[in-house]
């Protein structure tokens, strides 16, 4: 049996794990990364990247299919566009492969040893990996757990046959005529909207009384408007009970029952940390509500065992995992670090997109803070109008006493690209005057952020 004794063992090659390994390697630490599947984890291979590729393709098709919108631009089509889903999937897979190979190259450049296979711990510092060349035992000084998460399941609707997770939805060989989406959160709506644009009849089933419950009603309203305008049926306060021949049976909040036509049933009720199958129970680390318990340095209850990403709790976001992995590698190298972000921005790639960073108006009010809440509509933004995307707005929540920005939200086309500016403003402790005093480029969507700050100060120019 081959034995390795590195300074650092990273378990999981997703965005948290591979970033931790690369940074550790850059710092001169002897590092081994164990990954049973493709490098890049869920996000790169079967999540963020392929879903955004599919969303882009769907939007391109929808744009061509909307002859009314094109006619207003002076563009006409002599025949409706066609969809070759197999080619769409090949293109999507090509994007994923390119990024996957890029991660492998970065790890190699950082001198990280990659061991491909499933690792199982027998104690906190002993991991045996089943590789194609036989077992490899790794006994490191430090362990970074980055095992990620898996799609949550419904006991009455186990995955298989017509019941699929987001993973299978991103690799379908044929477009479903009808698709039932269980769960009105961001994963369900992102994919549901994409498949509606591709041509499927889509029905959303959500147990709560509103869509996207993590976002406030003002942000969700434009998305709900799009769903209604494009024939997406939404059942709120409804629960899926079982799959029937060619359909999905649901019960409504009023007690009534209904069967929805569904060639495929997409279950998107959330994700669960991957805590089973790799020996967590043998490591002696404490848990907190199903997640691995950590402190502000991502340290577990076991000395020199660290945990990051989806494994340690919400938000289950790639950029949170990557930031934690980067930090932990530096801590192991002797740097003084702690994970204490002011805000972690989140983006929902719906139609239109939603960005939220920091406190919402209701959250600020719940903390007893007196606030200034200002918004600026994209209908008054030149760049938005020149791209026929005047729906939505930017909103700033700031303290009334000192104008410190507490939260920034936006809904509209392409607003995901504003998320970095929003997060930076919060992290740097910006006040309204800082944003208002920064000259923003014209014509860009970012001008709406500038105008929102001006409006909060009482003198917006373009509204």
Instruction: Indicate whether 68 pLDDT > 70.
Output: no
Instruction: Indicate whether 262 pLDDT > 90.
Output: yes
Question: pLDDT tens digit string along 81-140?
Answer: 999 999 999 999 999 999 999 999 999 999 999 999 999 999 999 999 999 999 999 999
Cα separation values, 400 from 69, 370, 424, 457, Å: 42, 6, 21, 10
| Alpha-carbon gap, residue 252 to 236, rounded angstroms | 8
Which of 403, 440, 442, 450 is an active site residue?
Answer: 442
* Mean pLDDT rounded to a whole number for the chain: 96
Is the peptide bond prior to 89 cis by the omega test (within 30 degrees of 0)?
no
| Alpha-carbon gap, residue 276 to 264, rounded angstroms | 28
**What's the mean pLDDT in 174-201?**
97
Instruction: Indicate whether 56 pLDDT > 90.
Output: yes
Cα angle: 460, vertex 462, 463; to 5 degrees: 75
| Alpha-carbon gap, residue 312 to 334, rounded angstroms | 23
Task: Read off the tokens for 417.
Answer: 């690209």
**What's the mean pLDDT in 32-53?**
96
pLDDT of residue 76: 84
Question: pLDDT tens digit string along 377-436?
Answer: 999 999 999 988 889 999 999 999 999 999 999 999 999 999 999 999 999 999 999 999
pLDDT of residue 134: 95
pLDDT of residue 77: 84
Question: pLDDT tens digit string along 320-338?
Answer: 999 999 999 999 999 999 9
CATH fold match for the domains 2-149+273-332 and 163-269: yes
230 is catalytic: no
Domain boundaries, the chain: 2-149+273-332, 163-269, 346-457
Contacts with 216 (C-beta within 8 Å, 6 or more apart), sequence order: 360, 361, 362, 409
Instruction: Indicate whether 271 pLDDT > 80.
Output: yes
pLDDT of residue 22: 98
Instruction: Indicate whether 244 pLDDT > 80.
Output: yes
**CB atoms < 10 A from the CB of 125, how many?**
18
Instruction: Indicate whether 231 pLDDT > 70.
Output: yes
What is the CATH number that goes with domain 163-269? Answer: 3.50.50.60
Question: pLDDT tens digit string along 294-318?
Answer: 999 999 999 999 999 999 999 999 9
- CA distance from start to end of the chain: 71
CATH of 2-149+273-332, one of 3.40.50.720, 3.30.70.100, 3.50.50.60, 3.40.190.10: 3.50.50.60
Instruction: Indicate whether 42 pLDDT > 70.
Output: yes
Task: Read off the tokens for 195.
Answer: 């498949």
CATH of 346-457, one of 1.10.600.10, 3.30.390.30, 3.90.1150.10, 3.30.450.40: 3.30.390.30
């Amino acid at each position: 049996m081959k034995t390795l004794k590195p300074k650092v063992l990273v378990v999981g090659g997703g965005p948290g794990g591979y970033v931790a390994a690369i940074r550790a390697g850059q710092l001169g630490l002897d590092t081994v990364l164990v990954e049973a599947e493709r490098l890049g984890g869920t996000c790169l291979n079967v999540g963020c990247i392929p879903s955004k590729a599919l969303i882009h393709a769907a939007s391109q098709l929808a744009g061509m299919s909307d002859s009314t919108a094109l006619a207003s631009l002076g563009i006409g089509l002599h025949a409706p566009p066609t969809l070759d889903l197999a080619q769409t999937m090949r293109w999507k897979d090509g994007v994923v492969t390119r990024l996957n190979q890029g991660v492998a190259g970065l790890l190699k450049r950082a001198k990280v040893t990659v061991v491909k296979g499933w690792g199982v711990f027998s104690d906190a510092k002993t991991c045996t990996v089943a590789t194609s060349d036989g077992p490899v035992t790794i006994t490191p000084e430090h362990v970074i757990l980055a095992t990620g998460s898996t799609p949550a399941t419904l006991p009455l609707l186990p995955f298989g046959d017509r019941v699929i997770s987001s993973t299978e939805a991103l690799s379908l060989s044929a477009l479903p005529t009808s698709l039932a989406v269980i769960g009105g959160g961001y994963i369900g709506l992102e994919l549901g909207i994409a498949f509606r644009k591709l041509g499927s009849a889509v029905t959303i089933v959500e147990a709560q009384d509103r869509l996207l419950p993590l976002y406030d009603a003002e942000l969700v309203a434009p998305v709900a408007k799009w769903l209604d305008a494009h024939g997406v049926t939404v059942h709120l306060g409804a629960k899926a009970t079982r799959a029937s021949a060619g359909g999905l049976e649901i019960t409504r909040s009023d007690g009534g029952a209904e069967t929805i036509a569904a060639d495929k049933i997409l279950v998107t009720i959330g994700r669960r940390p991957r805590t089973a199958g790799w020996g967590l129970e043998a490591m002696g680390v404490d848990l907190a509500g199903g997640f691995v318990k950590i402190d502000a340095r991502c340290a577990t209850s076991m000395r020199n065992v660290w945990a990051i990403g989806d494994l340690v709790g919400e938000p289950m976001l790639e950029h949170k995992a990557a930031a934690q992995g980067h930090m932990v590698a530096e801590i192991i190298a002797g740097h003084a670090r702690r994970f204490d972000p002011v805000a972690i921005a989140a983006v929902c790639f719906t139609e239109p997109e939603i960005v939220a960073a920091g406190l919402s108006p209701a959250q600020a009010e719940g903390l007893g803070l007196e606030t200034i809440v200002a918004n600026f509509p994209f209908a008054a933004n030149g760049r938005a109008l020149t791209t026929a995307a005047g729906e939505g707005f930017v909103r700033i929540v700031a303290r009334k006493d000192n104008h410190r920005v507490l939260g920034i939200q936006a809904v509209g086309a392409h607003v995901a690209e504003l998320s970095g500016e929003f997060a930076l403003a919060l992290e740097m402790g910006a006040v309204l005057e800082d944003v208002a005093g920064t000259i923003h480029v014209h014509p860009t969507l970012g001008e709406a952020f500038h105008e929102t700050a001006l409006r909060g100060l009482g003198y917006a120019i373009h509204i």
